[in-house]
Structure 1
């Protein structure tokens, strides 16, 4: 399978994951639910995303990841069509949960394919390209969903996603050799992940995405309540800071060459992540947007550094390593997409950001500990 084909598949798959996010306030009004309940549309997807990838990682150790990817994309296409016709909020939640069960199969299959097929510098470069495609998918999925909702109907965007997923899935090659390792017992695979450095990195990724999912999930409500921005198209355009910040991920290989080690770079960027959260407490729109751009850029650099690093330091097969990575990543997203929303409802914008800052500092403590723990991990 060509890498370009896989990257386009990734783009459409992330459309499915993030398209509802800028529409949460619209869904809250349309179905007469609170912001926290509307935010549960993301939580309903993040919960299975947090649990299923490790299980899929164990299964993918014995299966062709491209076959899994093809069927997962076809299932996602069907759920998109059903989502567009759903008459109730409860059915939307159910369909989002089904998407959450399917998405980790696709995500783990893609990272497994890259982790198994490429090594050393090629692994770093192609994993960075994959992460770039997820960033683009997250951005364009949000913005296009908002634009379609404003100009036509939000359902029309879901029909386009479904058509694209179906076409791409049918073009995935069927006769490519399987990229699988010699099968061991599930317990043996899990034991291979029980390394202090690997677990610290997973914990830091959990904290990173907890903060990111929380801010982006409740961004439409902050823009409405604090800055009086109510139009879905304008809310979608605010996510431009997401794309501008994403360009920072392109610089990750260069930053790694200039850093003492990946752990050192992670410490520096987690510090920047914390600083941008402090700036996001501002009630001035220009400061908030600038901080939001920096926040997104920091997150993408952390992600682009951590994903290849865990593949290098883990002794487990690529499918298991990446399955666990995706599990920790979306565990943070599942909690971040709901718990901080309750803080926001009760105490407002400032308390919401303070709660995220606390979690971010926990992530900084974990990568600092990983940096100081051993020179083999730090310099290797």
Structure 2
């Protein structure tokens, strides 16, 4: 949760940074961009490194580095140094995220794997939401630096509480080269799930980035407090992701559940084309819930079907996830600026349908193999 605080805390403070360092809003927004870009590339590289390392030790070191980076962020005297610190955080964050998911993938199987991966995703949702809310609250009540002291203290304390010696590395039958590990990800079903996750987060990042503009231009909502309340639909995702194991027990297979939720996801995007506020708010809440159920189902699924080590499998998953987010936060905005809300949502719908087709394709391929 605190690791995700590091990623999202600057977002509500961007206008404050623009005023404090006398930079344009678009330049202030680059504080998020420089952190997200490494998240799209680095996880797979770290996954290869983690295949032969203790993930708890990597997590511990990464958390200490992130803690001290928060202190550096507080005392950076110029905006350029703020950007440098954010870039270093962007390089460190995927090490922590890949280490956590790898530890879960190595330590648990079957229902325990699903349960613990779901709890991890739930904590990431809570971290994403409260990282934004608490950063704004601390900035209002005291000053923005105070929240960074809290994050730094919490990360370093939690890192010191992790006993990396308790991790018992599962036996590896043979030593493979990094290229051999990557080749193990070439299995069709794994790549298709990765592609579907890319499409899913492309749509999610696009809508959350441009939601304030839609609320302002379509619904004439300009008060930041009211816009913040709309974002609370995001929290429904936490509840929905916790329900994922129960939904999986009701579904014949994870593929059936993913197919059904992708249909639901597409329908919510259709409803988001509405210019009636109540319909839009309900659709946004459904949209968030659907996204997190897909995430909670797909992450354990790739760990079950992949032949690669968990660190490589999860590194690939995180890379595809944030690659979708990086492109989704940029490309659909061009459509929105030139053609408006309906065309913007239609673009998201097309991408979401691609994700749906990839899941169908993977499921039909699986039915024709002995692995099912």
> How big is each residue's C-alpha offset from its partner over 1:155-196, in whole Å with a ceiling of 9 and x where there is no partner?
322221111111111111142244255342101111111101
Q: Is the 8 A contact 1:39 1:218 kept in 2?
A: no
Shift of 1:318: 0.8
Distance 1:277 1:64, change over 3 A: same
> Which whole-Å CA distance do the structure 1 matches of 2:209 and 2:80 have between them?
19
Are 1:262 and 2:254 an aligned pair? yes
CA contact (8 A) 1:277 1:357 kept: yes
State the 1:12 CA deviation.
Answer: 0.5
Pair 1:291 & 2:250 matched: no
Contact persistence 1:62–1:181 (CA under 8 A): no
Distance of 2:3 and 2:264 partners within structure 1: 29
Partner of 1:260: helix, strand, or coil? coil
Instruction: Determine if contact 2:14/2:25 at 8 Å carries over to the other structure.
Output: no
Q: In structure 2, what is the Cα distance between the partners aligned to 1:85 and 1:139? A: 25
Counterparts of 2:215 and 2:81, CA distance in 1: 27
For residues 175-226 of structure 1, give each alpha carbon's deviation from its aligned partner in whole angstroms, at most 9, with x where no partner exists.
2244255342101111111101000000001111111122222333333444
**SS state at 1:63 partner:** coil
Give the C-alpha shift of residue 229 in structure 1.
Answer: 4.0
Deviation at 1:29, TM superposition (A): 6.1
Q: 1:105: how far off? A: 0.3
Give SS of 2:283's match. helix
Q: 1: distance between equivalents of 2:210 and 2:145?
A: 22
Q: 1:319 to 1:210 in 2, by over 3 A?
A: same
Corresponding residue for residue 96 of structure 2: 106
Q: Is the contact between residue 181 and residue 317 of structure 1 (CA under 8 Å) also seen in structure 2?
A: no
Aligned to 1:5: none
- How many residues end up aligned between the 2 structures? 369
Q: How does 1:335-346 map to 2 (within 5 A)?
A: 335-346=327-338
What's the CA shift for 1:339? 2.4
C-alpha separation in 2, matches of 1:150 and 1:307 = 37
Q: Please list, as runs of the form range in 1=range in 2, the aligned pairs for 1:1-380 lying within 5 A after superposition.
A: 11-24=1-14, 26-27=16-17, 31-35=22-26, 37-179=27-169, 182=172, 183-375=175-367
Are residues 33 and 356 of structure 1, via their aligned partners in 2, closer, same or farther at CA, if it must alter by over 3 Å?
A: farther
- Give how far 1:19 is off: 2.0
Given that 2:56 and 2:167 are in contact with CA atoms closer than 8 Å, whether structure 1 keeps it comes out as no
SS in structure 2 opposite 1:175? helix
Residues in 2 aligned to 1:191 and 1:45: alpha-carbon distance in whole angstroms: 28
In 2 relative to 1, CA 32–52 (structure 1 residues): closer, same or farther, beyond 3 Å?
A: same
Gaps of 5+ in 2: none
Shift in alpha-carbon separation, 1:84–1:150, aligned structure 2, 3 A: same
CA contact (8 A) 1:84 1:158 kept: yes
Normalising to structure 2: TM-score of the pair? 0.91
Note closer, same or farther for the CA distance 1:174–1:318 as it changes in structure 2 (3 Å cut). closer
Q: Residue 273 of structure 1: CA displacement?
A: 1.1
CA-CA distance at 1:280 after TM superposition: 1.9
Change (3 A) 1:120 1:224: same
TM-score, scaled to structure 1: 0.89
**Equivalent position SS for 2:243:** helix
Preserved CA contact (<8 Å) 2:237 2:293: no
Q: 1:94-124, CA deviations, whole angstroms, 9 ceiling, x for partnerless residues?
A: 3222211101100010011111111111111
- Measure the CA separation in 2 of the matches of 1:92 and 1:288: 37
